[in-house]
């Protein structure tokens, strides 16, 4: 199953940091890529690309101005649409049906007020909680539940740096250009 995240309605002067964090969470928690809609923001695109360059991939970063066209095109290609919202059905009630569906998934997270049509286009409107929360936290929780912790074992290739886990201190391994040690 492939997983992409669609970030709706990015606004340059308001959402730069949070959209970058949506991309970081998507990559770290197992998504294959992010599609950013709204304002075209080369700074966010460059920041995420630099993370992939330094820490490894694969992870695709795309910009598409028309979010509705993205959803409709992915749906036509057989992908299922998951919209994360505090107004949807509780995550714990729907995660099993989402997980057993073998289709690729497009996960939609908003920034500004999400247009009502997104709720109609989604196969699942999923509430992580029914309280206001961050789209970054919602995405991380959702991906962890969807992938059942497999994201913790993911190996990234082609990066220049790799963290070596240890109880105390920081140990970072510098890799050569081909991703080897």
pLDDT tens, the chain, 181 aa long: 999 999 999 999 999 999 999 999 999 999 999 999 999 999 999 999 999 999 999 999 999 999 999 999 999 999 999 999 999 999 999 999 999 999 999 999 998 889 999 999 999 999 999 998 999 999 999 999 999 999 999 999 889 999 999 999 999 999 976 544 4
Tokens standing for residue 179: 């991703």
* pLDDT reported for residue 176: 74
What predicted TM-score, i.e. pTM, was given to this entire model? 0.94
Q: Degrees (nearest 5) of the Cα angle 33, 35, 37?
A: 165
Q: What is the pLDDT of residue 6?
A: 98
Alpha carbon of 44 to those of 82, 143, 144: distances in Å?
23, 22, 24
Tokens for 139, please give them: 């995405």
* Cα(69)–Cα(160) distance, integer angstroms: 36
Query: Quick one: CA dihedral 163, 140, 66, 41, positive or negative?
Result: negative
Q: Which residue segments constitute the domains of the chain, with CATH numbers given? A: 3-156 (3.40.1280.10)
Q: How far apart are CA 39 and CA 92, in angstroms?
A: 33
Farthest-apart Cα atoms in the chain, separation: 49
pLDDT value at position 179? 47
CA–CA separation, 80 vs 87, rounded Å? 19
Ramachandran assignment for 69, one of left (phi > 0), alpha (psi -120 to 50 degrees), beta (any other): alpha
């Amino acid at each position: 199953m492939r997983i992409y995240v669609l970030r709706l309605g990015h606004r340059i002067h308001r959402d730069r940091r949070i959209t970058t964090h949506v991309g970081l969470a998507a990559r770290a928690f197992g998504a294959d890529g992010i599609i950013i809609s709204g304002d075209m923001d080369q700074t966010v695109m460059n920041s995420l690309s630099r993370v992939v360059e330094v820490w490894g991939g694969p992870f695709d970063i795309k910009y598409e101005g028309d979010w509705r066209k993205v959803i409709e095109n992915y749906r036509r290609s057989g992908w299922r649409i998951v919209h994360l919202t505090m107004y949807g059905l509780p995550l714990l009630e729907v995660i099993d049906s989402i997980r057993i569906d073998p289709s690729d998934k497009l996960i939609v997270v908003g920034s500004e007020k999400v247009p009502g049509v997104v709720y109609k286009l989604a196969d699942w409107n999923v509430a992580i909680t029914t309280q206001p929360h961050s789209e970054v936290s919602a995405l991380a929780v959702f991906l962890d539940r969807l992938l059942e912790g497999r994201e913790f074992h993911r190996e990234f290739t082609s990066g220049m740096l790799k963290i070596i886990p240890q109880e105390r201190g920081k140990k970072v391994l510098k890799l050569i250009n081909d991703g080897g040690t």
